[in-house]
Amino acid sequence: MPSQKKLVLIISIVVFTGVVAVSFGFLDEGGVGEESTEVPNYEAIAVVREVLDGDTLKVNILQELNPHEGVELGKDKIRLAGIDTEEMDVHKAVSEHKDVKNMTQAEYEETIYYQHALAAKNLIKSLAPKETKIYLDIDDLAHGKGPYRGLYGRLITVVYIKDEEKWINLNSEVLNQEYPTDYDQSYKLIINSYNSEFNPYDWLSSNS
């Protein structure tokens, strides 16, 4: 039969092991959730200069942790990877919605398309207003008008925001707000026709 000292030692080891396991998440079967403090992968740090619409921002790149060809410090324009929100401008919206072809901008602004475009833009402005520091995971497989960029030269990225100890995936936030459920189902918010290292379907909430 073990001595009292050995029993105390064994109990102490078991308790300590349990504390360490909980601290490092070994006992968390649910994995990392949306509220996790786990630091995401990011390759550059930037600051927001202007939110142009629901998927495009003007930024100043402050630091590159993982240098990419053609990505330099200073002014740049980024596009949220994997998603394509409604257009703010009626002329751009025609390519997606033929029913707006003969509309004026004022008439277009009365449509549900524009309302979704504005909602997406306002969401980004609320989460990442001007001067917000953002963290960029650059799409290594994107290649449009140059490596890591889309057809219009915008840098394709997943954007993260740090809110105190919580990390927010901006792409996921926009996708889950704007995923079509109450209007033209032919509109495709998710882009999956281009090479990308990201799968936007992974960002969809189960109730979308």
- Beta strands at 133-138 and 74-80: parallel, antiparallel or unpaired: unpaired
The beta strands (E) that lie in the chain are given as: 44-51, 56-64, 74-80, 133-138, 143-144, 146-147, 155-163, 166-169
Question: What confidence score (pLDDT) does residue 186 get?
Answer: 47
Q: Phi and psi of 38, rounded to 5°? A: -65, 130
CATH of the domain spanning 38-203: 2.40.50.90
Per-residue pLDDT of the chain (208 residues; tens, 9 = 90+): 555 555 444 444 444 444 333 333 333 332 233 446 789 999 999 999 999 999 999 999 999 999 999 999 999 999 999 999 999 999 999 998 999 999 999 999 999 999 999 999 999 999 999 999 999 999 999 999 999 999 999 999 999 999 988 999 999 999 988 765 555 554 568 876 788 999 998 888 754 4
| Burial (Cβ within 10 Å: 0-12, 13-18, ≥19) of residue 149 | buried
Please give the DSSP secondary-structure letter assigned to residue 49. Answer: E
> Tokens in use for 11?
């109990």
Question: What confidence score (pLDDT) does residue 28 get?
Answer: 33
Can you tell me the distance from the alpha carbon of 105 to that of 12, in angstroms, rounded to the nearest whole number? Answer: 71
- Say if CB 80 and CB 170 are below 8 A apart: yes
Q: How many residues does the chain have?
A: 208
Question: What confidence score (pLDDT) does residue 204 get?
Answer: 83
Domain boundaries defined on the chain:
1-31, 38-203
For every residue of 81-113, DSSP letters joined together read TTB-PPPSSHHHHTTT-GGGTT--HHHHTTSHH
For every residue of 129-151, DSSP letters joined together read -TT-EEEEEE-TT-EESEETB-T
What is the residue whose two structure tokens read 């740049």? Answer: 76
SS3 200: helix
**Nearest 5 degrees, angle CA 68-CA 133-CA 137?**
35
